[in-house]
């Protein structure tokens, strides 16, 4: 049976990440919990990166989306633990990223001691699937992405960093 | 609240302020590279790292404001304190210098953050542990970024080697205060909230020695004079200038909104 909580989690699938609009905040694992008590809702979220400038927009969107479904008293709580990780991205979410032109993250977290001068990520081009790609910059247009170049189809592309 | 709890709260507030201020000030310095870095990839990298620093500063200052419980917000702490009330280490406030200087500072400070957060994520204080665990994941990327530049420049051309060695030598005297167990920190150490600074030092030295020797750089002598006082509000002349730029908008238009 579908509970009220499931219904609310369904509404939250409508809230897309403003910086990676291919994914919802549910796909990304930003929403950690929803508590319902009568007319009051408490939505617990966690930031992807601590400086993620989209967090404010995401909070506003959660409130306005739930309001449009009739919930007027929404409180948002931010937690840091457990720490957000790209391993929470489902296969479906990874597929959506690739379709959007962003190479999805490898399925493991980054190493504790990231080795110097060696790239341990194996990244395939989201356009032509070639594995012959090269890292251009570890930092990209947002905190969660790195810049790559595909030697096969000669297209630059972004990689969602494992984190 | 009894006296012991009061002391513990004050100690925690001071500690959080220090952590927040380090990252706020360093983040501001890094943002000065926006539009000025030698290549566009570095412009993006430094802006990204600056953003992570600000995010971490926000988390620590928000928590500090909560602990203080005097109605101040993280923004009040950032924009409405004067230099003498800032608790950041002096190393974070020094001007950006050349690219080698910025990278050497990043390397020294980030190596320290990496080791500190590694210990702090085991803190008995759950919220402090959670913020540290989060920040640590970001710091891993920052550490690789700066360490690789120390390697590239140190073991690069004659010019880049000279500049990197010069930066290391200039910054060395500002590294000592990162490991002092001053003031109210003792109370937190006894509570199992924070690690002892003096125990972090050998771990830090080991990590930087590894990279510096690989980069053909010379580690300055241990017994050199060390600056200190950041955590007590004693700063170089540079902090006031930085604050005047960082705080002018908030002070000219208090309560301004986007």
Q: pLDDT digits over B99-142, tens only?
A: 999 999 999 999 999 999 999 999 999 999 999 999 999 999 99
The Cα B247–Cα B124 span in angstroms is: 35
CB contact, 8 Å: B171 with chain A? Answer: no
Contacts of residue B148, defined as CB under 8 A and 6 or more positions apart, other chains included, come to A116, A117
Contacts of A59 in chain B (CB under 8 A): none
Closest B-chain CA to A138: B45
- Is residue B85 within a helix (H) or strand (E), and if so which, with residue range? none
Confidence of residue B58 (pLDDT cuts 50, 70, 90): very high
- Please compute the mean of the pLDDT values over residues B228-257 and round it to a whole number: 96
Contacts of residue A8, defined as CB under 8 A and 6 or more positions apart, other chains included, come to A34, A36, A41, A66, A69, A71
Best interface-test mutation with B: which of A55, A87, A116, A162 has the largest number of B CBs within 10 A?
Answer: A116
* The pLDDT value given to residue B49: 97
Residues of A with CB under 8 A from a CB of B: 47, 49-53, 79-81, 83-85, 109-117, 136-141, 143, 147, 161, 163
Q: Across all residues in chain A, what is the average pLDDT?
A: 93
* Min Cα separation A137/chain B (Å): 6
Q: Is B86 exposed, middle or buried (0-12, 13-18, 19+ CB in 10 A)?
A: buried
Q: Do the Cβ atoms of B87 and B14 come closer than 8 Å?
A: yes
Reported ipTM: the value is 0.91
The Cα B182–Cα B232 span in angstroms is: 9
**Pairing mode of beta strands A133-137, A102-103:** unpaired
User: Looking at the predicted structure, is the pLDDT value of residue A1 above 70?
Assistant: no
Phi, psi angles (nearest 5°) of residue B139: -65, -30
Phi, psi angles (nearest 5°) of residue A133: -125, 160
CB–CB of B133 and A52 under 8 A? no
* Strand ranges for A1-151 from DSSP E: 31-37, 40-45, 73-78, 102-103, 133-137, 145-150
pLDDT in tens, A100-122: 999 999 888 888 777 888 888 89
Q: Do the Cβ atoms of B131 and A80 come closer than 8 Å?
A: yes
CB contact, 8 Å: B148 with chain A? Answer: yes
* The pLDDT value given to residue B94: 98
Contacting B residues, span 122-141, partner chain A, CB-CB under 8 Å: 126-127, 129-131, 133-135, 137-138, 140-141
Rg (CA), chain A: 18
Residue B69, phi-psi category: left (phi > 0), alpha (psi -120 to 50), beta (remainder): left
The Cα A9–Cα A3 span in angstroms is: 10
Residue whose tokens read 């356009």: A127
A90-96: list long-range contacts, CB under 8 Å, 24+ apart. Answer: A90/A27, A92/A27, A93/A23, A93/A27, A93/A28, A96/A22, A96/A23, A96/A27
* The pLDDT value given to residue A120: 84
User: Looking at the predicted structure, is the pLDDT value of residue B75 above 60?
Assistant: yes
Alpha carbon dihedral B139, B145, B146, B148, in 10-degree steps, equals 140
Q: Do the Cβ atoms of A81 and B126 come closer than 8 Å?
A: yes
Best interface-test mutation with B: which of A19, A51, A83 has the largest number of B CBs within 10 A?
Answer: A51
B19 closest CA partner among B45, B49, B56, B52 = B56
B200 closest CA partner among B126, B88, B139, B118 = B118
Q: Do the Cβ atoms of A100 and A24 come closer than 8 Å?
A: no
Helices (H), chain B: 3-31, 40-68, 74-79, 90-93, 99-120, 126-154, 158-172, 185-191, 197-214, 238-252
The Cα B224–Cα B234 span in angstroms is: 20
Percent of chain A predicted with pLDDT > 90: 77
Q: Across all residues in chain B, what is the average pLDDT?
A: 96
The Cα A10–Cα B160 span in angstroms is: 55
Q: Do the Cβ atoms of A134 and A149 come closer than 8 Å?
A: yes
Q: State the DSSP code for B147.
A: H
User: Looking at the predicted structure, is the pLDDT value of residue B148 above 80?
Assistant: yes
Confidence of residue B193 (pLDDT cuts 50, 70, 90): very high
Confidence of residue B221 (pLDDT cuts 50, 70, 90): confident
- Please compute the mean of the pLDDT values over residues B162-175 and round it to a whole number: 97
Percent of chain A predicted with pLDDT > 70: 99
The separation between CA B15 and the C-alpha centre of its own chain, rounded to angstroms, equals 13
Q: Is A11 exposed, middle or buried (0-12, 13-18, 19+ CB in 10 A)?
A: middle
Confidence of residue B1 (pLDDT cuts 50, 70, 90): low
Least confident range from A14-28, A105-119, B79-93, B126-140: namely A105-119
Residue B183, phi-psi category: left (phi > 0), alpha (psi -120 to 50), beta (remainder): left
The Cα A89–Cα A82 span in angstroms is: 15
CB–CB of A116 and B52 under 8 A? no
**Pairing mode of beta strands A145-150, A133-137:** antiparallel
Confidence of residue B169 (pLDDT cuts 50, 70, 90): very high
User: Looking at the predicted structure, is the pLDDT value of residue B255 above 90?
Assistant: no
CB–CB of A139 and B145 under 8 A? yes
CB–CB of B148 and A117 under 8 A? yes
B88 closest CA partner among B183, B196, B137, B16 = B16
User: Looking at the predicted structure, is the pLDDT value of residue B222 above 90?
Assistant: no
Contacts of B144 in chain A (CB under 8 A): 114-116, 138
């Amino acid at each position: 049976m579908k509970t009220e909580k499931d219904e609310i989690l369904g509404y939250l699938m409508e809230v897309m990440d403003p910086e990676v609009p291919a994914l919802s905040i549910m796909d990304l694992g930003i929403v950690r919990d929803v508590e319902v008590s009568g007319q009051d809702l408490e939505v617990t979220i966690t930031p992807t990166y601590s400086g993620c400038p989209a967090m404010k927009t995401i909070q506003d969107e959660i409130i306005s989306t739930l309001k449009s479904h009739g919930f007027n008293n929404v409180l948002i709580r931010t937690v840091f633990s457990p720490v957000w990780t790209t391993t929470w991205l489902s296969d479906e979410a990874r597929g959506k990223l690739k379709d959007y032109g962003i190479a999805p993250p490898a399925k493991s977290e980054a190493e504790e001691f990231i080795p110097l001068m060696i790239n341990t990520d194996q990244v395939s081009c989201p356009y032509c699937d070639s594995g012959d790609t090269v890292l251009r910059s570890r930092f990209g247009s947002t905190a969660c992405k790195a810049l790559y170049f595909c030697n096969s189809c000669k297209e630059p592309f972004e990689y969602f960093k494992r984190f | 609240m009894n006296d012991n709890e009061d002391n513990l709260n004050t100690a925690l507030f001071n500690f959080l302020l220090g952590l927040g201020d380090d990252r706020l000030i360093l983040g501001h310095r890094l943002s000065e590279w926006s539009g000025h870095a030698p290549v566009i990839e570095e412009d993006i990298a430094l802006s990204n790292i600056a953003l992570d620093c600000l995010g971490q500063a926000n988390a620590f200052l928000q928590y500090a404001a909560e602990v203080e419980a005097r109605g101040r917000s993280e923004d009040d702490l950032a924009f409405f304190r004067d230099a003498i009330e800032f608790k950041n280490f002096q190393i974070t406030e020094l001007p950006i210098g050349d690219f080698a200087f910025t990278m050497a500072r990043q390397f020294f400070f980030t190596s320290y953050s990496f080791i500190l957060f590694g210990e702090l994520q085991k803190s008995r204080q759950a919220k402090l542990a959670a913020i540290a665990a989060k920040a640590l994941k970001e710091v891993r990327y920052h550490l690789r970024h700066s360490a690789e530049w120390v390697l590239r420049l140190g073991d690069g051309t004659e010019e880049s080697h000279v500049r990197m060695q010069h930066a290391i030598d200039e910054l060395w005297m500002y590294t000592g205060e990162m490991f002092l167990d001053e003031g109210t920190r003792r109370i937190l150490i006894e509570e199992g909230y924070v690690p002892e600074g003096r125990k972090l030092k050998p771990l830090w030295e080991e990590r930087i020695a590894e990279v510096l020797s690989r980069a053909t750089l010379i580690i300055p002598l241990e017994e050199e004079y060390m600056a200190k006082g950041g955590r007590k509000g004693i700063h170089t002349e540079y902090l006031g200038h930085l604050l005047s730029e960082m705080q002018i908008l908030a002070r000219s238009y208090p309560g301004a909104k986007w």
